[in-house]
Amino acid sequence: MIKFRNAVVWGWLFATVGLNAQTLKIADCYTLAKTNYPLVKQYALIEKTKEFSIENAQKAYLPQFGIYGQATYQSEVTKIPIDLSALQPILGENAPNIPELSKEQYKLYGEVAYSLTGLVTNKNQTDLVRANAEVETQKVEVELYKLHERINSLFFGILLLDAQIAQTELVKKDIRNGIERTETAITNGVALKSAADNLKAELLKMKQRTTELQAARKGYADMLALFIGQKIDETTVFEKPLSQVVSNTINRPEMRLFDLQNKAFDLQNRLITNKNLPHLSLFLQGGFGKPALNMFSDNLDPFYIAGLRVNWNLSGFWTFKNERKQVANNQIGTQIQQELFLFNTNVALSQQTTEIIKMQQLIVDDGEIILLRESVKNTAQTQLENGTATTNDYLIAVNAEDQAQQNRILHEMQLLMAQYNKKITLGN
């Protein structure tokens, strides 16, 4: 009888809407809320930022160009310490002359350089950009995942209100049966007209209750409609989800976020190490100088130089240890956050498991209570028709059964919600 009456409650919900009514599942609401929530636009921004940063990092693979120039005045210039004046009387005009360089010197040249060791550093930089983008994307995933709890509250709230509205309709039916039996008793002279009026007043109270429940349902539906970006009206059917049995494995998006952050820290350490290693590069210089490569020429001559260059900036070691310590501190901070997250999650899981066990036991007790209350109501209904019970006696029995039914509806919905909340807490 209990299962039959429970089926009647949910059957009433589908019977009151058309065949073409919109049907919503809780899983669909999760998906729609995620795609409709304004924060989802952050994905595109993160992707664009990643593309720009990677493009800039990869341009470091290209040869580096530079144009340089200088004009100087020197206090001294290179001189050959040989005096050839003694040859002048002998050789005359043919005597060699060592020219003196000008103290004013000029140079304008361009350089093309290609870093060989920079190939590794640039790859690490690109990998770090991608890793940071994944971290930011996962942070958005974490925020969007929080929508599940809000959707649960609204979705199961609507299911509860729908079930309460259906139960109220069944109570109205019981009261109408009582009115019919009372009117029969009045006709037979075994009851007063005021007895029927008492039941009619109670029927009006049930109508008021339906109005209140429907208004509350509309409020919940309007809020859910904003989340999922779809219209919801009184004809929308909310499909009651199946009872859930979930594992105890924590698979929340926060766990992936912690992993991605640790990966980024490893790449930061690698980049710090590589940037402090000797840098090897190919280079080509070409331009004009006075003097050029021939230091004894005082003319403006062209020149070029090609070769292999080693550059090791040792000043980077002044900050090397502190940079590594900073990354290590960030890693420790992430580990603390992960431990705190797991601790709070396990506390929540413990509470939810206790709540599920409690609701399961309450539902079993509800079934027994309903059987007893229904038996009392049926007896009161027969006595009312025979004039051996008052309408107050009947209403007490009807309301007692209604309260028992309402308790079971509430406990069933609380059980479902606790199961789905646990599922969300685990991330399964």
* pLDDT, mean over the chain: 85
Average pLDDT over residues 298-312: 87
Q: Which two tokens stand for residue 7?
A: 């089926």
Residue, of 38 and 120, whose pLDDT is higher: 38
C-alpha–C-alpha distance, residues 284 and 109, integer Å: 10
Residue 94 confidence (pLDDT): 61
Q: Does the pLDDT of residue 76 top 50, yes or no?
A: yes
pLDDT of residue 370: 94
Spatial separation of the C-alpha atoms in residues 11 and 169, rounded to whole Å: 12
Q: Which range (7-11, 99-103, 295-299) has the least confidence?
A: 7-11
pLDDT value, residue 265: 94
The whole-number pLDDT of residue 90 equals 61
What is the structure's pLDDT at 220?
A: 93
| Domain residue limits, the chain | 2-64+118-277+316-426
Give the pLDDT mean for 48-67: 83
Confidence of residue 297 (pLDDT cuts 50, 70, 90): confident
Give the pLDDT confidence score for residue 221 in this predicted structure: 93
Mapped onto helix, strand or coil, the DSSP state of residue 288 is strand
Number of H helices, E strands in the chain: 10, 6
Distance CA 40, CA 92 (A): 93
Kind of pairing, strands 104-115 and 279-290?
antiparallel
Mean pLDDT score, 231-243: 87
Other beta carbons within 10 Å of 380:
23
In this prediction, residue 91 carries a pLDDT of 56
Mean of pLDDT values over 222-232: 92
Per-residue model confidence as pLDDT tens digits over 331-356: 999 999 999 999 999 999 999 999 99
How would residue 222 be classed by pLDDT, with cut points 50, 70 and 90?
very high
Percent of the chain with pLDDT over 90: 44
Residues 6+ apart with CB under 8 A from 271: 121, 124, 125, 128
CA separation for the pair 376, 250 (Å, rounded): 48
Which pLDDT belongs to residue 320?
Answer: 83
pLDDT at site 217: 92
More confident residue, 184 or 222: 222
Confidence at residue 96, expressed as pLDDT on a 0 to 100 scale? 59
Q: How far apart are CA 353 and CA 418, in angstroms?
A: 8
pLDDT for position 12: 46
The reported pLDDT for the residue numbered 426 is 92
- CATH number corresponding to 2-64+118-277+316-426: 1.20.1600.10
Q: Which residue has the higher pLDDT, 368 or 178?
A: 368
pLDDT value for 353: 92
User: Which pLDDT score is estimated for 187?
Assistant: 78
Identify which of 9, 29, 417, 31 has the alpha carbon closest to the alpha carbon of residue 244. 417
Reply yes or no on whether the pLDDT at 164 is more than 70.
yes
For residues 335 and 233, the model is more confident at: 335
Whether the pLDDT of residue 58 is over 80: the answer is no
Q: How confident is residue 2, by pLDDT bands cut at 50, 70 and 90?
A: very low
Residue type, 323: E
12, 167 contact by CB (below 8 A): no
Amino acid 425: pLDDT: 92
Q: How many CB atoms lie within 10 A of CB 83?
A: 8
